[in-house]
Structure 1
Amino acid sequence: MLEPRLQAFLDYFNQISGQHTIAPTALYHKDVCFIDPVQQIQGATALQVYLNHGYQRLNYARFMPVSGSCSGDVGFLSWVMTYSHPAIAKGKEISVKGCSELRWQGEQIIYHRDYYDMTEMVYQQIPVLGWLTSQVKRKMAAG
């Protein structure tokens, strides 16, 4: 059972779709700092634009919790995101492991940082780039 703030966070992201966007103002502070491997965003309005754009062409995205913990106003949630995008891997389902670091100010999230592997999420799904990244990983592992 997740702590209620982590569950609310997870529920928010599991409700978003290209056809159904939800304003982040109830969950996020107006001055939220959002960081992920793609970019850094300041403010709830800019975050909503980013999320709308990101979810616009997705067939779906679902987040399943792995583990979570909160201490005071800081929380961490590890998750597996399963998604489908028509332009990535011909729309086949892809799963990516990640983690969100969250900080609350009062009842709203003031800081949200996502950690995940962009190679796993996108690059490995593109034929030539996927082959190339797997070759680089194999050579690095061999020493």
Structure 2
Amino acid sequence: MLVDARIQAFLDYFNQLSNSNLGSTEAIYHPKVLFIDPVHQIRGRDQLISYLEHGYQRLNYARFTAEQAVVTGDEGFLSWQMCFSHPAIGKGKEVTVDGCSALRWQEGQIIYHRDYYDLTEMVYQHIPVVSWLTGKVRQKMADK
């Protein structure tokens, strides 16, 4: 899939990211970045680096594959599929999550990054009791 160079740089960044390899964060993210995902809202590149350090601390791996991308001016949207393994989620078994990112660039760096994904798909369905409960809620909702 051919994508905008900024989207490709974004994908390359996350596909090479590890707890010991956060140096390129300063090249891709603006110092005043606003990062939002289903769990956090973070302001500033230093706080984002701390968040990523924590998130990647025990992560075995994460790979992102671009599904679709649209860029207009300094705004972009990317749908992706992430495959990852974490020892605390599903006993380290590979998990696949579909999601998307809304991005805005300022001065060539990402100033706004918002991720959308199903937290149940990513985490909750891999915790036995929570998985059972969310399954019951989904079943109830489907029956109505």
TM range (shorter): over 0.9
Is contact 1:16–1:22 with CA below 8 Å preserved after alignment?
Answer: no
Aligned residue in 2 for 1:31: 32
Structure 1 residue 18 displacement after superposition? 3.2
Q: Return the letter of the residue paired with 2:85.
A: S
Correspondence list, 1:13-32, <5 A? 13-32=14-33
| Amino-acid identity (%) | 62
CA distance in 1: counterparts of 2:46 and 2:24, whole angstroms: 8
For the residues of structure 1 that align with 2:124 and 2:87, how far apart are their CA atoms?
15
Distance of 1:46 and 1:30 partners within structure 2: 10
Instruction: Report deviation, 1:34.
Output: 0.4
Aligned counterpart, 1:136: 137
Structure 1 stretch displaced more, 52-61 or 13-22 = 13-22
The equivalent of 2:83 in structure 1 is 82
Q: What is the distance in 2 between the residues matched to 1:12 and 1:128?
A: 35
Across the two proteins, how many residue pairs are aligned to each other?
Answer: 143
Kindly indicate whether the alpha-carbon contact (under 8 Å) linking 1:100 and 1:113 is maintained by their aligned counterparts in 2: yes
Matched, 1:60 2:61: yes
Deviation at 1:19, TM superposition (A): 3.9
What amino acid maps onto 1:138 in structure 2? Q
Answer with 41-50 or 19-28: which moved more: 19-28
SS at match of 1:48: helix
Structure 2: distance between partners of 1:17 and 1:117: 23
Distance 2:71 2:60 in 1: 32
Gaps of at least 5 residues in structure 1 are none
Pairwise CA distance, 1:91: 0.4
Q: Is contact 1:18–1:59 with CA below 8 Å preserved after alignment?
A: no
Q: 5+ residue gaps in structure 2?
A: none
Q: CA deviation at 1:87?
A: 1.0
Paired with 2:91 and 2:21, the residues of 1 have a C-alpha distance of 23
The match for 1:111 is 112
CA contact (8 A) 1:73 1:105 kept: yes
Check the 8 A contact 1:67/1:79 in 2, yes or no: yes
Say whether the 8 Å CA contact 1:99–1:114 is kept in structure 2. yes
Measure how far apart 1:124 and its partner are. Answer: 0.3
